[in-house]
Amino acid sequence: MTGITGEAIARDRDWGVSARTCRRAIQSLKESGQVKVPIPGGLRSPDTLEGCLDVETDSAEMPQSLEDLIALFSVDLGKWTPECVTPKAWEVFAKIGEEMQVKVLHSLAARFKRRPTWDDLATLREALLGDITAAEDWKSERQPDLAEQGRRLVVIAPSDVHMGALCWGEETGSQNYDLQIACRDLLGSVAWLIDRASRIGRPARVLLPVGNDLLHIDNVAATTTAGTPQDIDGRYHKTFRAAVETYRTIVGWCLDFADCVDVRIVPGNHDTLSSFTVGEVLRAIYAEHPRVHVVNSPNPRTYYRWGATLLQLTHGRDEKLTDLAMIAAAEAGEDWGQCPFREALTGHYHSELVCERTGFLRRQLPSLAPPTAWGARKGFVGNKRRAMALEYDFEDGMIGSHVYTVPRG
């Protein structure tokens, strides 16, 4: 009786008795020693119905845990997953010699559900991968990844602030302007530009050109560098201190915004000496700072390289503007040869302009200051008071800009 079960007898022989009766009979024979039940006999053979697998032990000697059941029937858990486990118990009676004995027997039944087939999973996997890939494409369009952040330079370039200038709106037909307003608008523009640029992510570096007529006058006689008298608000020393403190604040903001800050001094025609001395103070302040690099030079032009881009920084008053490209080629020939993107950032004219010729692009920055009485007399009126930030990719050159416009009123 190898592996025979009560159910098998009841089903195959059609003896007209229940499986339980047959089991009891078998058990009775076993208990009496007349029948040897081999191990692992006494088991119900797995029945594979559509989508489910039933297994059941048939005696007290059989395993009593689900894990044992799985091992005993070699149930492939890759194909089947347990759905329910049903323990069973019943009494058997046997006459051994003259004595009737009672014994409680146990069994364990379990039902397994068929897992999705590999074909189904493969199809599902392909569909999911397609969805995920599409989602990643969409994500990368909307949000540059961290590797991209490391390739990004932001140039924060307020120009022609003319701190210390005094402008009377009734006379100029524009807004009033004094030292306090200049500091307010300079800080306000930089805060706005950093906020906008930070929405894209944290850049690797900030380039901060300082100068370009940051101060309106260059000496205690209240004149430009060349000696032209100006309308001024406050004393020279007061303006100088305000310029240093304002840029100290701005550098601090830039350090919160980016990993490194590169300060480049760009002398203007109103502040040739003052921008140099402001630069020297900033250089002293940040001499030991690991993330701030100040370059200050008496040379009117300075060059900055970011990957494939060469930037020429100059106020743009003294050179012939159409010569700037050849001046850059002469002064920064090696970088010129290696950089497919060559640009000049200039100021001075208080108007925004982009001019590209033979692969050299000159970006003329707008001014944060309103017209002075002299400018109004000359008819230099109506231009918008603005400050710009420019975004450069390490390999792809300029990739964007932000513009702050001083509110009207």
216 binding Mn ion? (CB under 5 A): no
SS (H, E, C) 344-397: EEECCCCCCEEEEECCEEEEECCCCCCCCHHHHHHCCCCCCCEEEEEEEECCCE
162 binding Mn ion? (CB under 5 A): no
Residues in region 91-150 near Mn ion by CB under 5 A: none
350 binding Mn ion? (CB under 5 A): no
Beta carbon of residue 215, minimum distance to Mn ion (angstroms, whole number)? 11
Residue 6 or 268 with smaller CB distance to Mn ion: 268
Beta carbon of residue 228, minimum distance to Mn ion (angstroms, whole number)? 11
Residue of 110, 74, 13 whose CA lies nearest to 5: 13
Residue 159 or 172 with smaller CB distance to Mn ion: 159
Q: Are 157 and 123 in contact (CB under 8 A)?
A: no
From 14-22, 342-350, 367-375, 381-389, give the range in contact with Mn ion by CB under 5 A: 342-350
For residues 257 and 174, give the distance between their C-alpha atoms in angstroms, rounded to a whole number.
34
For residues 355 and 362, give the distance between their C-alpha atoms in angstroms, rounded to a whole number.
5
Q: Are 90 and 104 in contact (CB under 8 A)?
A: yes
218 binding Mn ion? (CB under 5 A): no
Residues in region 285-324 near Mn ion by CB under 5 A: none
Question: What's phi and psi for 253, nearest 5 deg?
Answer: -65, -40
> Where do we find the tokens 């240093």?
244
6 binding Mn ion? (CB under 5 A): no
Beta carbon of residue 366, minimum distance to Mn ion (angstroms, whole number)? 13
Beta carbon of residue 317, minimum distance to Mn ion (angstroms, whole number)? 6
Beta carbon of residue 351, minimum distance to Mn ion (angstroms, whole number)? 12
For residues 136 and 138, give the distance between their C-alpha atoms in angstroms, rounded to a whole number.
5
From 47-55, 139-147, 210-218, 354-362, give the range in contact with Mn ion by CB under 5 A: 210-218
Beta carbon of residue 278, minimum distance to Mn ion (angstroms, whole number)? 16
Beta carbon of residue 270, minimum distance to Mn ion (angstroms, whole number)? 6
Residue nearest to Mn ion (CB): 348
Q: Are 328 and 360 in contact (CB under 8 A)?
A: yes
Residues in region 260-279 near Mn ion by CB under 5 A: 268-269
Q: Are 240 and 164 in contact (CB under 8 A)?
A: no
Which of 213, 218, 233, 393 lies at the binding interface for Mn ion (CB under 5 A)?
Answer: 213
For residues 303 and 312, give the distance between their C-alpha atoms in angstroms, rounded to a whole number.
5
Q: Work out the widest C-alpha separation in the chain, in whole angstroms.
A: 136
Residue 6 or 279 with smaller CB distance to Mn ion: 279
Which of 152, 348, 363, 386 lies at the binding interface for Mn ion (CB under 5 A)?
Answer: 348
Residue 213 or 233 with smaller CB distance to Mn ion: 213
Beta carbon of residue 367, minimum distance to Mn ion (angstroms, whole number)? 9
Q: Are 160 and 350 in contact (CB under 8 A)?
A: yes
From 180-188, 302-310, 337-345, 347-355, give the range in contact with Mn ion by CB under 5 A: 347-355
27 binding Mn ion? (CB under 5 A): no
Residue of 89, 77, 87 whose CA lies nearest to 110: 87
Residue 203 or 347 with smaller CB distance to Mn ion: 347
Beta carbon of residue 269, minimum distance to Mn ion (angstroms, whole number)? 5
> Where do we find the tokens 């059609």?
14
From 63-71, 88-96, 207-215, 393-401, give the range in contact with Mn ion by CB under 5 A: 207-215
For residues 366 and 352, give the distance between their C-alpha atoms in angstroms, rounded to a whole number.
5
Burial class (CB within 10 angstroms; exposed 0-12, middle 13-18, buried 19+) of 362: buried
Give the interface size with Mn ion as a residue count (CB under 5 A): 4
Binding region for Mn ion (CB under 5 A): 213, 268-269, 348
